Structure 1
C-alpha cells in the first residue's frame, strides 16, 4: 500500500489537498489531507466519490472520429496516430488558407492546474507557434477582478483564514457551504466568539440558513446597497478618517457619490426595507473588524465590475483593511507567482494576434469575421452546456466547415459536436501543480495510478499534435515534469514532491500593510486608470437588466451552483444526479399563485432567446419577482434538451467582457400538472451510466 499526495483541480476556491491510497496499482481510497490547515481532512460532497468517477463506465478511453451528423454523438474508434495525423492536416490547412488566427483554442475551468490546466494556460506554447487567436477566459471572474483592482490594485484581498478574527461577516452573494465550504469553519469559529454573520443574497441558501441575518436584495443591486450602508456610516461619522487620510486617494469625490444614496433611495433600488438597510449600516459603522466574502456569482451581471469595486472600497472607508479579519475576500489569485513566463512562452508568438472572448462563442462562430473561425480545439470546457445563448452556440457548433477537436473525459454535450475526440486523463493519473483561489497554499499533484485506456495528459496530447505537425520548437516537447520544474524551480518541486503542499504567505496575513499595488500606491476611491478605460473614475452603481421592469418577462432568473455538480462536471454521475434531481426552479408563493402554479408542476421557463423545462418548488426562500434554479445539467439528460443557458444572454458585463448569467429576465408557464398525465417520469429525465449514457461507437 502506497499513499500519494495530490490536489483537487476543480473550479472551486478550496483547491483541496488530498491523499490517494494505492494497492497493487489500483486507487482504493481518496481522502482529504488531515495535515493540511485549510483542507483539514475534509473533501466536498462532489469530490468524495471522485475515484468512482475515474472508473465510470462512460469514461472516454480511446480517440474517436465522428461518423454521424454533428450533434448526434456517433463515433468510431481510431488510433492516436490516425487522430493526430488528421488534426495536424486540418490545422495546417486552416493556417495555410486563413492564417493561424482562424484556430481558436477554447479552454475552460475543468482543471485549474498550472501544468495541465487553465492556470498554466496549458498548450499555450503550441498556440503561440501556430499564431492562433488568444482565448480570453471571461466566463468566471474577470469583471469582479477588474473592478476590485481599480480600488486596491488587485482582487487578491484578505486571507480567508482570518475570518476567524472577524466581528462582523458579510457573506455577499456567496454560498460557501455549497461552493467552497472550508472557509465556513473559520466563520463558524468567529460566530462562536460572538461575530454576527449576514448573508446578502436573493436566495436563502444553505449558508444563509446558518447566518444570523438574511437580506434578499434584487439581483444586481449590490453596489446600491453598499452605497446605502456607507451613507449610514458617514451619517454616524464612523469613517476611519486617519486611515483614509494616510492610505487612500479621492475620498472627497467618493463621499459626494455616497451621499447621493440615502437609505430611502437604496430601499427603492434594492427592494429592501429602509430600516434593515439602516440597521446593517449602523452595525457596519460600529463593528471592527468587518470581513466581506464576495465570490464570482455576484458579479455575473451588467454591473458586476462596479459591484466588486464598491465592495473593495467599503473597508477603505471603515479602515478594516488594516486588521486581521478585516477587508474583503474575492480571491487569492495573484499572490502565488511562479515562473509563468517560462511556461506560457509568449515569446514564441511571431506577431500580435486577436483575442476572442469565450462568452462570445456564438457570435464568433456565426458572424464569420475575417479570418473566420475554422478550427476549434475545446479542452477542459463544455460550452454547449455552459455558455450563454445556447441555441446560437448549437448553431455555431453545427457548422460543417468548422473542424472541432474536443479533449474530454466523458461524453458531454459538446463532445456530440466534435469531429475528433481525444481521451483525457483525470487528476489521479497525471502530474500537476495546483493551488486554490480561496487560500494561500500550493500543492503538487503526484500521479497515483496509470491512465485508463489510452487517455493522455493535456500536455502529452499537445506534444503529439506538435509532432504530427512536424513543428521543431523544442519548448513544445517539454515533459510534464520539466514544465512543473520550470514553473516552481527544482528546490520547491522537490519539497512539494515529498510533503505535498506549502503555504506561501505568513500566518494571519494582512494585505496592503506596505501600500497598495495601484498607480498611487494607495487605495483609490478615485481611479485615473478607470477613467483612462472609459469608466467612471469613482465607484458607483451600474443597474443590471435584472432590476429593470419588463412586462413580457417580469421575473429575474438567477442560477447559481448546484450543491451536487461543479459547473457541468459530475452532472453525469448517477448518485449525484439522483441527489440533484432534474432542473428545478424555486418561486415565491405570490408569483406562483399569480400563475396558478403549485410545487411539483412542470413549467416552461422562457424568453426571446429560448426556453427550458423545470419542476416548480414554491417557497419563500426567494424574494418575490425572483426565481432561482441551478446551473450544470447536461442537455442530453433533461426533458426538452435545454438547460438554464437556453435563456441567458451572450452580452458583456461592464468590465472585461465578463458574463451576465444572472442578468436575465424570463416568464414561466405551466406545461404539466403534478397530478397530470403529462408529468415527466424521473427515469425519463436522466440517461443512466453505461451503454445508454455513453458515446455511441461504431465498430470498425
Structure 2
C-alpha cells in the first residue's frame, strides 16, 4: 500500500461532488460514499483537507459480472471510504463501481462480521454456536473428511455451488479434495442452468452462455436498426462501469429501436424511450412461435439461410430418421405436428397477454430489419420450461438469417471476453460421477436412488450413495438461494443424511446457520489478492489488490485455513507446493504476462495495480456463417439443429416426472407451474427478479442498502384493488410450500395477473413456529421441482395467492 500522490485533490473531488449529490438525495449518504466518510472524519475532529490517507486498490468481486475497481481510503489502519477507477480516458472504459459496490465498506466493517471459528451447539438452522480454536477446527474437519471417505467413498464428499466471491486464490477445497481421491462433481450453475442444457442441442456442444463465439458483443447492437431484449435489464443486473450498462448506454444513443420483452417495466426499460412489450411471465416461446407463424405465412423467412445452415426447419431439411413424421419446426408452427395447433397471433395473445395485432406488427418489423440484434437475459430460461424457451428465442435470428453479420446476435446474452490470469490449479477430480448443482438436496436426501435416466447423473448410471460431507464456501445456496427453504430445513435436520457441513462466510447469512463448523473468512480488502475483470463488460483486465486493513478477530484468508486443514491430513506440502498466497499470485500473473503481449510486468502491476486492455469485438458465429464447411458447429450435423435428432433419441431413455416434457424442437411448453396452472387457491403467477441493492444475496445484510432500495412486491393496480391492497401495505404471499411477508409496491409497471418479488433478500423466519418469512426471501415459496432436461432451478415458474397482512 502506497501513499497517494494526489490524495487531497482526488479526495476533495470525490467527497465534494458526492456530498452535493447527497443534498439532493439521501441515497448518497446511505450508500456509504463520501458523506459517510465525512461523518467518520467528524468523529475524530479531523477534516478531509488535513488528514493524510493511504490508498489501497481492491475489487468488488461479488457475482454481478463486473468486478469493478475500488480504491480504499485508509486512515489509522481502517477503511473510511472508497473511490473507484479513475485511470484512463474518462470518456472510455473505466471500471467504476456502482453505488452498491461503493458501500462495500459497510459490509467489511459490519459489527456482524464473523470473527472466530465456531462449532454448532444447537440444531441445524438454529444458529447457535460456540467459539473454538483454529486448531480444533482444522482437526475436526480433517478427521470428519477422512472418516466419510473411509466409510462411504469419495463420492460422498460434495462441494456446494456458490458464487459469493471469486478471485485467483478462492474456492480451494476442490484442490484439497482431489489430493484425497476426489469428490462428487457438479455441472451447470444457478444462473444459466436450463440454457446450458438446451443450447448445445441447437448451437453445439461448445456453445456456452459465457463465450464470445456463440454470441456478439453488445457494441454490435450499435449497428442494428432493431434490438429486441428478452428479460434483459443491464441497469439492474449489470450496473457499474465494468458492466454492460455502460455499453448499453452507447447503444441507446447510436443504435436503432430497442424493444424490451418483460413481465415488468424494468429499470432499463424505464430509461429508454422506445417500447416495453409486457408479457406474461414464462410465455416468451409462445410469442416467438406466433412471430414465426407470421414470417412463414408471409414468406418472410430467410429460406436460403435455413437450407444452408440449419437442420429441421421444414420437411426438406429433416434428417432421414425423422422424415415423414411431421416433426419439423414448420409443422409445429403451422399446426400439422406435435400438438396440431396452429400458432397464430390469436393463439398467442391470451397466453402472452400481447394483442394479436401487435404481434403481427412486431413480426413485420422483424422481417423488415436490415440488422436484427436479439439478446435474452437469463431470466426467461430460469423457468421450468427454460430449456425450450431459451432455444425458442434464438429462432428469431435463425428464421431471418440475422446471424454472423454486423449488427446481429444469435439470441444468446451478450458475448463475454474472458480473463487474463488463471487461478490456483485444482487438479483432476478422480471421481467421474457428477450431478446438476441444483440436485444436491436430492443427493443428500436419497442419493442412493438417483440415476442418469431419472435425475441427470453424469459419468455413471447411478450414484453409489448420498452426500455425507458438504463444503460450502462463500455461498448462500444451502437455503437462501435454493428452492423450498422449508424442505431444505427439514431434510438437514436429519443428521443421518448429511453428516457434516462446513460453511465459510463473512457474516451469518441464513445458510451459515446450518453449519456444523463455521469458519470466518477474510474479505479481499483484508488480504493481498488478484482477480480478473468481470465477465459482463467486453474488455480484458486484471487487478492486483493490496491489504487495506486487518481482518476482524481471528478471521483468516481462505488459503491460510485450507493450508491448516491440509496440514492435519499430512498434505500441506502437496497443497501449497511450498508457496505462500502471495507467491501463487506472482507466479500466476507472470505466466500470463509472459504469454500476453501488452501486459505490464509484475513489478509494474504492483505499482499501478489495475490494468485494462481492449478485446476485439465479437460477432456470434461469424466464422461459421462465412464458411460452414471449414468452421462447422459442434452438433452432429455441423449445422444449427432446429430439430435435434440427438435429443429426440435421448428422450426415449429418460424417466420424466409427471407433466414434464422435452421436445427436440423449440416449442412453447407451459411447464410445471407455468401458463394455465393458476387456480382458485393460487390465482396469480409470480416471478423473481434481480434487485439493484443486492447481487443475489450478497450485500443483503447491509442495512443502509435495505433502507434505500426496500424489498417490495410489485403488483398491478388491478390485482391490488381486488385485494384491497394499497401501496406500502404489508402483504402475505403464499404458495403450496411456504409463506412470506412483504411490502406492496402497487404499480402499472408490472403486467396484471403476475407479481414480482426481488430475489436474494435474507430469509428470516421462526422455523420452530409458523415459518412465515419476514425477510421476504422468494425461495421460501418456490417449489423444489428440477426442470426436465437440465434438472435445474426453474424457480421463476411459481403460482401464489396474495393477501393483505
TM-score, length of structure 2 as denominator length: 0.76
The structure whose Rg is larger is 2
**Does 2:380 match 1:303?**
no
Q: What is the CA-CA distance between 1:45 and the residue it aligns to? A: 2.8
Question: Secondary structure of the equivalent of 2:259?
Answer: strand
1:209 match = 270
Q: Show the counterpart of 1:693.
A: none
Looking at both structures, which has the greater relative contact order when contacts are Cα pairs under 8 Å and sequence separation is at least 6? 1
Q: Which runs of 5+ in 1 are unaligned?
A: 672-700
Report 1:269-668 matches (<5 A): 269-328=351-410, 330-331=412-413, 336=418, 343-346=425-428, 348-349=429-430, 351-352=431-432, 354-367=433-446, 369=448, 371-382=465-476, 383-401=478-496, 402-428=499-525, 429-449=527-547, 451-453=550-552, 454-471=554-571, 474-475=574-575, 477=577, 479-480=580-581, 481-482=583-584, 485=587, 489=592, 491-492=594-595, 495=600, 498=605, 500-503=610-613, 505-507=615-617, 509=619, 511-514=621-624, 515=631, 517-519=633-635, 520-534=637-651, 535-544=662-671, 545-551=673-679, 552-581=681-710, 583-636=711-764, 640=774, 643-668=777-802
Cα distance in 1 for residues equivalent to 2:57 and 2:304: 47
Give the stretch that moved more between structures: 617-626 or 229-238: 229-238
Alpha carbons of 1:332 and 1:492: their partners in 2 closer, same or farther (altered >3 Å)?
farther
Question: 3-state SS of the aligned residue for 2:388?
Answer: helix
Structure 2: unaligned runs, 5 residues or longer: 5-54, 315-327, 335-341, 449-463, 625-630, 652-661, 766-771
Instruction: Determine the C-alpha separation between the residues in 2 that align with 1:391 and 1:274.
Output: 42
The Cα of 1:225 is off from its aligned counterpart by 1.0
Other-structure match for 1:679: none
C-alpha contact (below 8 Å) 1:115/1:484 kept by paired residues? no
Within the alignment, does 1:251 sit opposite 2:318 as a pair?
no
Partner of 1:694: none
Check conservation: 2:167, 2:529, Cα contact below 8 A.
no
Distance of 1:446 and 1:256 partners within structure 2? 56
Note if contact 1:166-1:190 (Cα within 8 Å) is conserved in structure 2: no
- Give the superposition deviation at 1:485: 4.3
Q: Secondary structure of 2:263's partner?
A: coil
- Note closer, same or farther for the CA distance 1:313–1:16 as it changes in structure 2 (3 Å cut): farther
- Given the alignment of the two structures, is residue 31 of structure 1 paired with residue 84 of structure 2, yes or no? yes
Distance change (3 Å), C-alpha of 1:358 and 1:537: closer
Tell me the equivalent position of 2:138: 84
Instruction: Specify whether residues 137 and 57 from structure 1 end up closer, same or farther in structure 2 by C-alpha distance, changes over 3 A only.
Output: farther
Of 215, 218, 234, the match for 1:160: 218
Q: CA RMSD in A?
A: 3.0
CA contact (8 A) 2:423 2:588 kept: no
**434-443 or 493-502: bigger deviation:** 493-502
1:183 aligns with 2:239: no
Instruction: Tell me how far apart the structure 2 counterparts of residues 38 and 143 of structure 1 sit (CA, whole Å).
Output: 35
1:674 counterpart residue number? none
CA distance 1:7–1:255, shift in 2 (3 Å): farther
- CA offsets 1:352-381 (integer angstroms, 9 cap, x no match): 3x3243323443333364533322211121
Offset at 1:435?
A: 3.8
Rate the CA distance shift 1:215–1:642 in 2: closer, same or farther, 3 A: closer
- Secondary structure in structure 2 of the residue aligned to 1:177: helix
In structure 2, what is the equivalent of residue 689 of structure 1?
Answer: none
Instruction: With the length of structure 1 as denominator, give the TM-score of the two structures.
Output: 0.87
Which stretch of structure 1 is more off in the superposition, 596-605 or 168-177? 596-605
Q: CA deviation at 1:74?
A: 2.8
Q: 1:221 aligns with which of 283, 293, 307?
A: 283
The farther-off stretch of 288-297 and 232-241 is 232-241
Deviation, 1:173, is 0.9
Residues 242-294 of structure 1, C-alpha deviation per residue, up to 9 Å, x if partnerless?
Answer: 43344333332333334342222121321211011111111111113221221
Q: C-alpha separation between the residues in 1 aligned to 2:764 and 2:219?
A: 40
- Asked if structure 1 preserves the Cα contact closer than 8 Å seen for 2:194 and 2:381, the reply is yes
Q: 2: CA distance between counterparts of 1:484 and 1:238?
A: 57
**Equivalent of residue 126 in structure 1, options 172, 176, 180:** 176
Distance 1:539 1:321, change over 3 A: same
